[in-house]
Homo-oligomer: A and B are copies of this chain.
């Protein structure tokens, strides 16, 4: 990240609170404290990207039984309908019946949400969730 313009800020914090947070970050596997705080900051900013309907990336996870009549066809049709926004798909065979499919979707937050609603609401999908991620452009 050669061109990064690093700054160093100081925050005042109660020692006891810092000690507890150091315990938290160690438990979470963070190697340093700045990284843990930066992650909290980035999380707050990603939340705002979605609230303000900016360009975002989301991952939609679906679990379904591939024996369900016409389900694969329906999902495939839907995906083609939204092909401009769906970057990529990962398909995992969980067992002889169940599939998990993850779609990476990019677009305005409201569009990504609508696509997720349609996928998750398709008859035969037994579980569906949208995970709100980011293009990373505004984060560093």
* A residues with CB within 8 A of B: 1-2, 4-18, 20-21, 24-25, 27-46, 48, 57, 59, 61, 63-65, 67-69, 87-90, 92, 94-95, 97-98, 100, 102, 104, 106, 117-118, 120-123, 125-129, 131-140
Contact = CB atoms under 8 A, between A and B. Distances in A.
How many copies of the chain does the oligomer comprise? 4
B8 A16 contact: no
Contacts of A98: 135-137
A137 B14 CA distance: 13
Nearest to A78: B29
A90 B102 contact: yes
Nearest to A127: B134
